[in-house]
Chains A and B, each alone.
Chain A
Amino acid sequence: MATRWYAVPAIALLLTLTKADASQAQTADHADFFEARIRPVLVTHCYECHSAEAGQSRGGLKLDTRQSMLTGGDTGPAVVPRSLSKSLLYESILYGDDAYPMPPKGKLPDSIIADFRKWIQIGAPDPRTPKIRPEVQSEIDIEEGRQFWAYQPPSQPAIPRSKNSSWARTTIDKFVLSDLETNGLDPARDATPETLVRRLYFTLIGLPPPPKDIIEWANRIGSQTDVDARQQVISDLVGRLLDSPRYGERWGRHWMDVARYAESTGGDQNNIYQHAWRYRDYVIDSFNDDKPFDQFIREQVAGDLLPIADELEWANNIIASGFLAIGVKLVGEEDQEKFFADLVDEQIDATTRAFLATTVACARCHDHKSDPIPQEDYYALAGIFRSTATHYGLLKAQARQATTLLDLTGLGPSPGKPRLDQEDMKLLAKRRDDAAKAVTDAMAKIRSGENVFRGTLRRLRSQRDEAQAALQAYSSRGEPRVFAMGAQDRDDPLTTHLLVRGEVNKPAQTVLRGVLQVASPPNGHCLPNDISGSGRLELANWIAREKNPLTARVISNRVWHWMFGHGLVRTVDDFGHGGDRPTHPELLDHLALRLIENDWSIKSLISEVALSRTWQQSSEYHESNFAFDPDNRLLWRMNKRRLDGEVIRDAMLAVSGELDLRRPLGTLLRDVGEGGVGQSVFEPIIRSIDANIRSVYLPRVRSVLPEMLEVFDAPDASLVTGARETTSSPVQALFLMNHPFVRRQAIAMAKRVEGVSSEQCIDALYQLAFGRSPTIKETRLGARFLAQAKSTRSRPTVGRLGGGVLGGGGFGLRGRFSRAQLEDPDSQPMSDLAAYCQALLCTMEFQTID
């Protein structure tokens, strides 16, 4: 009996399950009915005017989703399940008198109307699920893209054999000579020892050689009859220059162009990054220490995540991650989401251009137009940077999109400024309290109905925050705190969607974090799901791995560019289809593999290039070679090139004996306080900054460069700049002829050779300025000038070459070169010798290396 009672619920359960199964089957049938009989009719006859895809919703009605059908249009729900009388859609297709006859082109066949009737009666089943996010599909064939030269892993090329086997001294020469012979060109002669010494000094340390060094090294090189012995002397000189701290300042400056290093945000506000200098010093020290380049990459992309041995290493690694923080930012942007998207975009652009010479940022809005980089790859990288917190500082009252800095106090780095005594601290505290009170008073006025100008209130708030920040820069005992720009991982990664046309409010499918498909093995581009951080460390390791087809090639090409003036791939920041092809692909691979072999040592690579006969060629003209290869792509001679603005300035200071080689503590912008250009520091002050330190330590404010650097084409640091422009303009000549800085150096240079005969004096000046003795003609011309100047000393224009032009018709007296700026309050009438020195500094020979 009991057993029978137990059976009842079991049977009931069985019946229920059976019923559920039947119900599921019925649902599937209904869905099939809709798909087979209803949806095709809707698509054919209705979607044209009532669907999101068509962009039409006549009468406010859409029929492409279940929701919109049930909601209906202006006249009510289009379909009410199981109610034919309330379903306006059904009324319409019946062509009834009280409804809009639909479709307007003609009544549907009766069989279709019967299908609609049945569909509504069974409850209007509709399996369509709304697609809230579109799926953007790429049409790029990645596999085909991998066939492009830049995405093929570098392979060890066979060393070519050449007819003139005695010419080549290194493997580099063999590659170059092979191409020259193939094209019937002859290499140029070796450069003279003096030229070579001057070239080495300028190229490796960015300074002219002192006359005694030129004589010494030129003699040593010239006196060697044996090739190996000659090479050994050159190698000694190269080693000595690479060991000099000046090397890091010169080559660090190269990298800072690539890393778009600057000490301000750029844009309209152009707020000062007071702590960017730490990254500058990190770069200089890294080059001086010959840090392996793969490690250099890891530290800049993910330094904050790398394992550490001690606190100082931790601090330095964080400072290195400042690479991600020093870019251009429109910090006045109101829309934080857009600002963040732009920040990530800038980081992607800088990282991929600097290390991979690939323009990934072009894929923000669509698939890359020329390279095999789908939009999805951009957002895979964006996922990594979106999961990263970027700390660049600034104050909220001055910049809407300010962030915090990273506090490295106690971790080891120098504070960069002296400690304050209690009196100074009290002053700072008083300044803060006064500024806070001023805001409180202004707010009280507003509350009492008094009018306070909005700009005034903004200024008061800015001053209050500035005073607070100034005080917070010290501990309560007056010890300066150590702040730095840098990156950190967020607590949790952010989900990233591909954005249609790059618009933040048009998300499409979710994209997993990853790296570029084309430079990864098939299906190996996504980061594993179980990574704990942002993925930056994985990205850094991916970039810095030996198998990455781009990284070693890109930096080898950069080094070649900095040595020769042109890269083997001339578009040093673009190895894609839009860029140039390598002129010597095998040589590029050879250099890349040698770099990896030598533990990514940049100094080794430089040394290898400097010791090649290709690099030691003269820059002499050869008619038939020039006719065949005017751009010197095949390297039949050395490229004669103009020095960078920084080097010209440093060279002037060096030859005048005024160069201060000490590294300044912190930055010159440190003392101006928080704020933007025009607020805490003014444009003319930066432009005409007066300091005798090396140019690499001058303030680097975006759009407001020191005049001399700007005139001589220093980049603005808005973008990665692997290759500087070299322009030639009258402004450069006018600058050299008129600027007080140049005149001061000329006066100081003249003082170095005072008290000797004019011939000796001219010889000494030529050695200083050009690293050579003057020709007989040059000596005669110089002596004649000095003699004539004596006789016409009363002429007022001697002190300013070209002054007649500037002073005459008013041309050039407006704007930056106005008379007010040209007038140097400390200037005294220049001596004849100083005028002669200035003339030497104005020559092209002084500005060029050959």
Chain B
Amino acid sequence: MVANNADRLAAAHSQSVFASFLGIYMSQCRSRLAYHTGAVALLLLAMPTLASGEETFVTIQKVSGDQMLVTIDASGTGGGRGRGMRAGGALPAGRGRGRGSRVGTTTQNAIAVTVPASAKITSAMRERRTFEFRVLAELPGGLRHRTFGHMQNPLQARVVTSSGVITEVNVVTGVTDINQTSSVRAGQIVVAVRPKRPPMKRIP
């Protein structure tokens, strides 16, 4: 089952090139109800598999339990604005290279993938100057982390698979420190946070 998720990701990745496959399964994914009930997990596609250590750039539309509803970033190098000359690689027809080329897909193309419990979920960022994709600290709780619970907008991410299994999901969450605290709030740096209150001593 887990391997199938990776297959589906791989398949979806292939479809950015071979768009003809898209219709086969996208119609099934359009049913949001199916997603919410977990029925999307029945999606099985026998597509060419991944080589070891493959990465796919996606946009996470929604997270529920151990499943993510994702759309594949068509450029294959991660979405985001203004990657400049660093975009690199072959781009699909119609996609411009350089600054200002907007990349992204809509939820209509979304697929659901199940993330195995063993997969590492981390935050990530794009380096401000070089736009290099940089993996940051691990998110405690994985897909249960507050980043996914309070999702207002889709999140860009990189999904890493190994031998057909999702091993890592790196989610672009903005700049955070190793404790997952944002370094800036309302334009001001965050210097200190209040500690969590421990229990009171029992009075005998």
Flag if A492 contacts B200 (CB, 8 Å): no
- Is A307's CB within 8 Å of the partner chain B? yes
Contact B49 A70 (CB under 8 A): yes
Q: Let me know if A492 and B140 touch, CB within 8 A.
A: yes
* CA gap between A391 and B178 in the complex, in Å: 9
User: Are the C-beta atoms of A403 and B136 separated by less than 8 Å?
Assistant: no
**A404 and B196 within 8 A (CB):** no
| CB within 8 Å for A491 and B177 given contacts A307-B201, A317-B198, A510-B118 | no
Count of A interface residues, CB-CB < 8 Å: 59
Interface contact A71-B48, CB-CB below 8 Å: yes
The interface residues of chain A lying within 8 Å CB-to-CB of B3 are 67, 130
Contact, CB under 8 Å: A481 / B48: no
Residue B19, interface by CB 8 Å? no
In the assembled complex, the Cα of A481 lies from the Cα of B194 at a distance in Å of 12
Checking A68, A339, A406 against B178 with a beta-carbon cut-off of 8 angstroms, the contacting residue is: A339
In the complex, the answer to whether B178 meets A390 with C-beta atoms within 8 Å is: yes
Bound CA–CA A456/B136 (angstroms): 27
Whether A468 is near chain B, meaning CB under 8 Å from some CB there, is yes
- Which residues of B have CB within 8 Å of A82? none
B69 touches A (CB below 8 Å): no
B28-36, B97-105, B159-167 - interface stretch = B159-167
Residue in chain A with minimal CB distance to B52: A52
Q: Which chain B residues in 166-202 approach chain A with CB under 8 Å?
A: 167, 175, 177-181, 183-184, 188-202
Q: In chain B, residues 3-56, which have Cβ atoms closer than 8 Å to a Cβ of chain A?
A: 3, 48-52
**Contact residues of A between 407 and 423, Cβ < 8 Å to B:** 407-408
| Beta-carbon nearest neighbor of A52 in chain B | B52
Establish whether residues B140 and A403, one from each chain, have CB atoms under 8 Å apart when the complex forms.
no
Contact of A490 among B134, B140, B184 (CB under 8 A): B140
B141 adjacent to A396 (CB under 8 Å)? no
Instruction: List chain A residues, Cβ under 8 A from B188.
Output: 468, 472
In the complex, whether A345 has a CB less than 8 A from a CB of chain B is: no
B120 at the binding interface (Cβ < 8 Å): yes
Shortest beta-carbon distance from A488 to chain B in Å: 6
- Asked if A371 is at the interface (CB within 8 A of a chain B CB), the reply is no
Q: Within 8 Å CB of A90, what residues of B?
A: none
Per-residue B-contact encoding for A469-500, CB less than 8 Å = 1, 0 else? 10011000000010100101111111100000
Cross-chain contact B162 with A132 (CB below 8 angstroms): yes
> Is there an interface contact between A340 and B195, defined as CB atoms closer than 8 Å?
no
Bound complex: CA A305 to CA B163 (Å): 42
A702 and B68 alpha carbons, distance in the complex (Å) = 46
Q: How many A-B residue pairs have CB under 8 A?
A: 146
Contact with B along A493-512 (1 / 0, CB 8 A): 11100000000000100100
Q: What class of interface size applies to chain B in its complex with A?
A: 35 or more
**Which among A306, A336, A390, A492 is the interface contact of B145 at CB below 8 angstroms?**
A492
If A71-B48, A308-B200 touch, whether A343 touches B178 (CB-CB below 8 Å) is yes
Q: What sequence of 0s and 1s flags, for each residue 50-65 of chain B, a beta carbon within 8 Å of any chain A beta carbon?
A: 1110000000000000
A84 at the interface (CB under 8 A from B): no
Confirm or deny: B144 has a beta carbon within 8 angstroms of a beta carbon on chain A.
Answer: yes
Contacts of A406 in B (CB 8 A): 192-195
Contact with B along A781-812 (1 / 0, CB 8 A): 00000000000000000000000000000000
B155 at the interface (CB under 8 A from A): no
Are A404 and B49 in contact (CB-based, < 8 A)?
Answer: no
Q: Please give, as numbers and ranges, the residues of chain B lying within 8 Å of A288 by CB-CB distance.
A: none
The answer, among B134, B146, B165, B197, for a CB contact under 8 Å with A491, is: B146
Evaluate contact between B200 and A309: CB separation under 8 angstroms.
Answer: yes
Cα separation A132 to B188 with both chains bound (whole Å): 43
Residues of A within 8 A of B202 (CB): 307
Q: Verify if A249 is at the interface (C-beta below 8 Å from B).
A: no
Q: How far does the Cβ of B37 sit from chain A's closest Cβ, in whole Å? A: 24
Asked if B192 and A389 sit within 8 Å, CB to CB, the answer is no
* A318: Cβ under 8 A from any B Cβ: yes
A51 within 8 A of partner (CB): no
Chain B neighbourhood of A340, CB < 8 A? 137-138, 178
Closest residue on chain B to residue A311 by CB atoms: B197
* Complex alpha-carbon distance, A304 and B162, angstroms: 40
Q: Which residues of B contact A488 (CB under 8 A)?
A: 179, 195-196
| Cα of A510 to Cα of B52 in the assembled complex, Å | 20
Closest 6 CB pairs of A and B: A492-B141, A130-B163, A389-B179, A407-B192, A492-B140, A405-B192
* Residues in chain A within 8 A of chain B (CB atoms): 52, 65, 67-68, 70-71, 130, 132-133, 304-309, 314, 317-318, 334-337, 339-340, 343, 386-387, 389-391, 393, 395-396, 401-408, 465, 468-469, 472-473, 481, 483, 486, 488-495, 507, 510
Assuming A337-B135, A491-B141, what are 18 further A-B pairs, CB within 8 angstroms? A71-B48, A309-B200, A335-B134, A335-B135, A336-B135, A337-B138, A389-B178, A396-B177, A401-B177, A402-B177, A405-B193, A406-B192, A407-B192, A469-B191, A486-B195, A490-B179, A492-B144, A510-B118
